Chain A
């Protein structure tokens, strides 16, 4: 036994531990800034959603549930009775359908892409990742404008089809549901590919070999081994597409032309032209609730993954 040494070690260990617990204070500045300028604003719109709307934007500090009532009902101007008005609900449902469809199609195109990337030799893999990362970080507004230039009546597709004499009058694609779906797919595809790739890159291909050794064919290996093993990546990718798709603002603004609204535009309108801040706040909170439900399923799913090892 060497009591001297062990005492010195204990002192050093204690000092080190004190230092490492003190390090937690380093998170304080970031937490303070995000709390004041990120969380407090969310609480404010939470409060606003229960206030009365002022005539020209802003709020009157009087409790009211009009924000939420106006979401589903319209007050009759003559007898002040509430009438069911599904306009906003329809926009929410439409947004939900767009977002689910975008997520599904992105997965359908993104999964093979990510798998192909992950099975390239390492040097080639980096180039593929860079190729997907560039659109991921490129300006969404600019990319959406580029789509607009392609599908306009005078755009690339129509010009090409007319030149090929397939059609003689341009097909209207801009400001349609098709335009919004195309824009959403194009915007969010990289968001699907990157997390899928991160998960598939770590795949243990000995499992695939074992599958083949046991006489599984390629399709069985894909469905029974590769896809189940990459489930965390699939869930993460779907979430990374689904949540921002729900809140899409730029895409329907430019490609929907104000005709085919999504939730994002609806909320922005209440803070601009429509000028009903409590209604806009209520709409934002309802959207947030949908997002939280999606996140809940994500957390439940991933914690399940951990349990299974």
Chain B
């Protein structure tokens, strides 16, 4: 190497690089190991015998897996769409507005689901729907889960949309107003197109949050409302086969795809 050693890097701190590498390695060993074991051709959940897609085939032929996947997709798609719409409106209402007296409180309410530990939300939602069913005879079926998911997805969708609105160049909006655009037209033709990456990024985060949820779903779900995380949990209660690794890997891959795309969308045009 002909490169000259640079003078002392004043930013560097001794040992910090090592810590960073250890941190990443620790975070990835379990995930990568799980993915490798999902390709196992043998029967044992932890003993690798050879590479095959056998357990993916088994999973895809499993009827329970299908019904869990169908429930998950129904809940996640509805919760994502509703929460993203609510979050977009709320983001506009908290950024493109004269400061109003309830603004701080509104902000707190929107972020409330992030501050309450999930287990509390879970038992509270369970009590709420039990009361609705008991006192009013109301039961929305899988709609209960969609409503519960929507609530905790709102803040996750809200954050990137709000960030995008705050970073946006306001001169474009006022130029539109100067050129006699009505507020609605200015929003539709200027603000909304610029906001699309924020909405896409927020929607992706809402999707993962709902897709992966275990705690709240486990307590609120009624019979026949098994989702993929609940299905995996059910599998751990029986003698395990590498099928659980295959299904877990599918879940991890879905998360990774959504995180990576949310990340790419948010970073582009920055």
* A contact set with B: CB distance below 8 Å: 12, 16-17, 19-21, 23-31, 33-35, 37-42, 44-45, 48, 58, 109-110, 112-113, 115-117, 119, 126, 128-143, 145-147, 149-150, 152, 154-156, 159, 186, 189-190, 193, 205, 208-209, 212, 218, 221-222, 226, 243-244, 246-247, 249-250, 254, 263-264, 267-268, 270-271, 277, 280-281, 284, 287-288, 291, 295
- A17 CA to B98 CA in the complex, in Å? 7
B23:A23 contact, CB within 8 angstroms: no
Given contacts A30-B90, A113-B19, A116-B20, contact A267 B37 (CB under 8 A): no
List B residues 123-153 near A (Cβ within 8 Å).
123-128, 130-131, 134, 147-148, 150-152
Q: Find chain A residues with CB under 8 A from B112 CB.
A: 34, 38-39
Residue of B nearest to A271 (CB): B123
Given contacts A44-B128, A112-B20, contact A16 B177 (CB under 8 A): yes
List B residues 185-244 near A (Cβ within 8 Å).
205, 208, 212, 214-215, 219, 229, 232-233, 236, 244
A268:B119 contact, CB within 8 angstroms: yes
CB of A137, distance to nearest CB on chain B (Å): 5
Residue among A137, A189, A267, A284 with max Cβ neighbours from chain B (10 Å): A137
B10:A141 contact, CB within 8 angstroms: no
- A28 CA to B89 CA in the complex, in Å? 9
CB of A217, distance to nearest CB on chain B (Å): 11
Residue among A23, A40, A41, A115 with max Cβ neighbours from chain B (10 Å): A41
B100:A24 contact, CB within 8 angstroms: yes
CB of A194, distance to nearest CB on chain B (Å): 12
B15:A264 contact, CB within 8 angstroms: no
4 pairs of A and B residues whose beta carbons are closest in the complex: A247-B117, A26-B93, A146-B30, A112-B19
A20:B97 contact, CB within 8 angstroms: yes
- Is B92's CB within 8 Å of the partner chain A? yes
- A159 CA to B39 CA in the complex, in Å? 19
29 example contacts (A-B, Cβ-Cβ < 8 A) are as follows A20-B96, A30-B86, A30-B110, A33-B150, A35-B109, A37-B125, A37-B148, A41-B127, A48-B127, A113-B20, A113-B24, A129-B263, A134-B259, A136-B259, A141-B214, A142-B34, A142-B229, A142-B232, A145-B248, A149-B34, A149-B37, A150-B29, A221-B10, A244-B117, A244-B118, A246-B117, A247-B117, A250-B214, A284-B119
A27:B24 contact, CB within 8 angstroms: no
- Is B87's CB within 8 Å of the partner chain A? yes
- Is B120's CB within 8 Å of the partner chain A? yes
- Is B33's CB within 8 Å of the partner chain A? yes
B23:A135 contact, CB within 8 angstroms: no
Q: Find chain A residues with CB under 8 A from B93 CB.
A: 23-28
Interface string of B24-60 (1 = CB under 8 A from A): 1011111101100100000001110000000000000
Tally of contact residues, B, Cβ under 8 A: 93
- A221 CA to B258 CA in the complex, in Å? 39
- A132 CA to B28 CA in the complex, in Å? 10
B16:A267 contact, CB within 8 angstroms: no
Residue of B nearest to A295 (CB): B115
A218:B14 contact, CB within 8 angstroms: yes
A116:B256 contact, CB within 8 angstroms: no
Q: Find chain A residues with CB under 8 A from B13 CB.
A: 112, 115, 218, 222, 226
Residue of A nearest to B186 (CB): A19
Other-chain contact of B26, A27, A130, A140, A189 (Cβ < 8 Å) = A189
- Is B22's CB within 8 Å of the partner chain A? yes
Given contacts A26-B90, A138-B31, contact A112 B16 (CB under 8 A): yes
Residue of A nearest to B158 (CB): A30
- Is B71's CB within 8 Å of the partner chain A? no
Q: Find chain B residues with CB under 8 A from A291 CB.
A: 115-117
B30:A147 contact, CB within 8 angstroms: yes
Residue among B28, B123, B177, B229 with max Cβ neighbours from chain A (10 Å): B123
